[in-house]
Amino acid sequence: MGAIVNRAKPYQALSAQSSYKSGLAMDRRLSFFPAMKLFLLTLSVACALVAATPANRTSLLPQVTISETPEGRIVLGYPAPEGKAPYIVGLLIRTDGSNGAAVGAGTIIANNWVLTAAHCLTTDSVDIHYGSNWGWNGAFSHNVRRDNFISHPDWPSQAGKDIGLIRTPHVDFNNLVNKIPLPSFSEENERFQDTWCVACGWGGMDNGDLADWLQCIDVQIISNSECESAYGSVSGNDMCTRQSDGRSVCGGDSGGPLVTHDNARLVGVITFASVGCHNGPSGYTRVTDYLGWIRDHTGISY
């Protein structure tokens, strides 16, 4: 889910690997891509993504080598029942001329729009996988080129602006593929402190592998001052959830949704976690701060 910034304590962005430790950038086979291995970023992609990544955050967009037929860590999460999160999509983030891709996620907010993190949109195209709980064997997928990407204009120069949109072909909704509402404009100043939410993704698990089955965790939003006690400083446009019993978002969850338990709506876009994904709050771009920006580009408002 700005320029390099010094922080008091380490946390990791859900982006590409730079010189700091990646939560999932290791030489191990991906359990849901049997023919794929993690590999190092090319310099051009690494530089593009590092621009958005503070020096002491680690990558959470693990890189994979794509086979011709891909087959099918939220850390300490639980397997999502089919249809629990029909609004989540898996992203394979591709660069032309390479057989590699990064792994991330996004959220359906309309029949032809997906909301994600801006750092997931720095390459040439994305494969969007819809209706998938098991690996990437979803109902269908679309390849979308970068001329359909809209990143916030202040990213990566300003912290807390890590949000982006993907214009997609029209998608019909059903029990496995559906949108999630945004907060209403009457909630534009709501901070949602102490609110319980669910975060889901196919990112790294506690054993370091990417998840075969969609994983979810239940988390509570905390104040930014509590988050700052762990990391030194946090943008007002970010929000954090408390790390509890080792549960956290992790590598591969970038761009995914944080959705309230009550009156379900999308309040956060997954962007960073503590190094190792076990030692501090998880971070999200605060959706309520971008309702006007989203409306201006998509016409969506509540």
Q: Tokens representing 172?
A: 């019909």
User: Could you confirm whether 162 is annotated as catalytic?
Assistant: yes
Question: Distance from CA of residue 142 to its chain's centroid?
Answer: 18
Cα atoms in the 13 Å half-sphere on the side-chain side of 88: 34
Q: For the chain, how are helix, strand and coil distributed in percent, rounded to 5? A: 15, 35, 55
Q: Which of 254, 274, 282, 289 is catalytic?
A: 254
Torsion of CA 191, 197, 203, 209, to 10 degrees: 130
The DSSP symbol for 75 reads B
184 is known as an active-site residue: no
In 14-148, where do the E strands start and end?
A: 29-30, 33-37, 63-65, 78-79, 88-94, 100-110, 113-116, 125-130, 140-145
Under 8 Å between Cβ of 196 and 218: yes
Of the listed 15, 119, 127, 152, which one is catalytic? 119
User: How many angstroms separate the CA atoms of 2 and 237, rounded?
Assistant: 12
Alpha carbons 238 and 284: distance in angstroms, whole number: 6
Q: Is 129 a catalytic residue?
A: no
- Selecting among 127, 162, 238, 289, the annotated active-site residue is 162
Sort residue 131 into left (φ over 0), alpha (ψ -120 to 50) or beta: left
Quote the radius of gyration of the chain (alpha carbons, Å). 17
Residues assigned a catalytic role: 119, 162, 254
